[in-house]
Amino acid sequence: MRGASFDRTLSLIAAKVRQHLPRYEVVGCNWGDAFGARLNAHGCSIPGYSSGAAAGAVEAAAMARWTLLSEDPLLELRVTDLAAPLGPPQGPVVWQLLADAAEAPAALALLSTWGLAAPWPAFIGALVADPTWAGTIRLLGGTRAQLSAPVSRAVVAAFLGWLRRAGEPGITGAQRDELVLALQAALGGAALGVRDWFLGKLTDFALPRRTALNDRTGAALGDILRYQARGEVLRNFIGDQAARSGANVILAHSLGGIAAVDWLASGARQIEALVTVGSQAPYFYEIDALASRPFGAGLPEFFPRRWLNFYDPRDFLSYAGRELFPGIARDVVVDNGQPFPESHGAYWRNDAEVWPEIDRFLP
């Protein structure tokens, strides 16, 4: 958090404190401007940063598609917008072809070279017996040529999931794509000029956003990396600010929580309570990356006995501390109602969960 953003956030926090904790006064500690990571060469290390036209955007979108399909193989089929063809619907036809794909020669030949042909017929049989798959594919619009590719990807994604669950060694991305093409031929083949609707949507979404995502998430990640290399400077900065203000409570967000824990664990302080929000301190401790305490050492006796730690499961930069620091850290799970990265900065406006809990926690 930098400059005007810090000032706006501090004003918001001060207003919330006046509303919920009028017995306290807020003093800011703007370590971001003094210490935070910067792209000192204007982002030249990030492909496509300056123009926003990220290198390999189509490749990145294709990888994103397979990431989504690994979680839900039917996702693309559920959202792809295909008009009904002239004549009979082709979903039932493709579904029958899929049942026959258990013995598709091209697919079996490929799988044989990888030592994976034996389970293929049983896998296809189980998939064809699944009512969810049947209901999804039978109702699809579009022509056979339009359906063959997304259905093939769905089947291959499901097969890759089966391999993972069975503990089988996986296949490469190139092999995966070969299998898709072989299965696609069995399901009706590809037609020239068929637009990849889903990939286009992913590319349209990702292409203008790489610069924005690096600006929004890169600052937090960059600060964490810089802290690992130059953390003492930030810890001393926090200590100086606390001493000058006479603070007895620290309210820290994200990396500020790591630095606050490290500072409090490195010597006796005047601080009576710690409140961390969206912090990675517990995770750093678990992976033995916390500067002040090796994993297993616990916290020293002089560490404040009162530590309130907020995390949102949708905030991928927030972690739980109660089990790692029993008797000291108390976790509060909140729902900021936002996806990441917005979830990481939304705690301060969570009047229903965050501020009432802080009010109850502090004397």
Do 114 and 191 lie in a common domain? yes
Residue 48 counted as domain residue: no
Residue 236: predicted pLDDT:
85
Supply 182's token pair: 């072989």
Q: Tell whether the model's pLDDT for residue 207 goes beyond 50.
A: no
Do 181 and 81 lie in a common domain? yes
Residue 52: predicted pLDDT:
46
Task: Decide which of 207, 229, 264 is a domain's last residue.
Answer: 207
Do 82 and 189 lie in a common domain? yes
State the pLDDT confidence band at 196, using cuts at 50, 70 and 90: low
pLDDT digits (tens, 9 = 90+) for 65-121: 788 888 889 988 887 666 555 567 788 999 999 999 999 999 999 999 988 999 999
Do 172 and 313 lie in a common domain? no
Supply 292's token pair: 């002040």
Residue 349: predicted pLDDT:
85
Under DSSP, is residue 70 helix (H, G, I), strand (E, B) or coil?
helix
Do 67 and 173 lie in a common domain? yes
Residue 190: predicted pLDDT:
63
Do 22 and 61 lie in a common domain? no
Closest listed residue to residue 24, CA positions, set 245, 268, 239: 245
73 CB-near residues (< 8 Å, 6+ apart) = 154, 155, 157, 158, 161
Do 185 and 76 lie in a common domain? yes
pLDDT digits (tens, 9 = 90+) for 301-347: 999 999 999 999 988 889 999 999 999 999 999 998 887 777 888 89
173 vs 42, residue with greater confidence: 173
Task: Decide which of 180, 207, 234 is a domain's last residue.
Answer: 207
Residue 211: predicted pLDDT:
46
Provide the domain limits for residue 331.
Answer: 3-27+247-361
Average pLDDT, the chain: 81
Residue 3: predicted pLDDT:
55
Identity of the residue numbered 220: A
Q: Tell whether the model's pLDDT for residue 151 goes beyond 80.
A: yes
| Nearest-10 crossing angle of helices 120-128, 144-166 | 120
Residue 115 counted as domain residue: yes
Do 165 and 263 lie in a common domain? no
Stretch 235-246: mean pLDDT, rounded? 88
199, 61 contact by CB (below 8 A): yes
Residue 134 counted as domain residue: yes
Q: Give the span between the Cα atoms of 309 and 234, in whole angstroms.
A: 21
Q: Give the span between the Cα atoms of 67 and 114, in whole angstroms.
A: 22
Residue 272: predicted pLDDT:
95
Residue 41 counted as domain residue: no
pLDDT digits (tens, 9 = 90+) for 175-193: 999 999 999 989 877 654 4
Do 177 and 263 lie in a common domain? no
Residue 122: predicted pLDDT:
94
Residue 215 counted as domain residue: no
Closest listed residue to residue 227, CA positions, set 19, 11, 34: 34
Do 63 and 21 lie in a common domain? no
Number of structural domains found in the chain: 2
Q: Give the span between the Cα atoms of 229 and 35, in whole angstroms.
A: 12
Residue 73: predicted pLDDT:
92
Do 181 and 116 lie in a common domain? yes
Task: Decide which of 207, 233, 264 is a domain's last residue.
Answer: 207
State the pLDDT confidence band at 201, using cuts at 50, 70 and 90: very low
Under DSSP, is residue 326 helix (H, G, I), strand (E, B) or coil?
coil
Query: With the CA atoms of 248, 253, 257 and 259 taken in that order, what torsion angle do they form, in degrees rounded to the nearest 10?
Result: -90
Do 83 and 16 lie in a common domain? no
For 86, list phi and psi in degrees, rounded to 5. Answer: -70, 135
Residue 292 counted as domain residue: yes
173 vs 5, residue with greater confidence: 173
State the pLDDT confidence band at 212, using cuts at 50, 70 and 90: very low
299 CB-near residues (< 8 Å, 6+ apart) = 265, 293, 325, 328
Residue 214 counted as domain residue: no
Stretch 221-235: mean pLDDT, rounded? 74
Segment among 6-15, 168-177, 221-230 with least mean pLDDT: 221-230
Residue 242 counted as domain residue: no
Supply 121's token pair: 């017929």
Give 46-92 as a DSSP string. STTTTTS--TTHHHHHHHHHHHHHHH-TTHHHHH---PPPSSS-SHH
Out of 12-16, 24-28, 228-232, 278-282, give the one with best mean pLDDT: 278-282
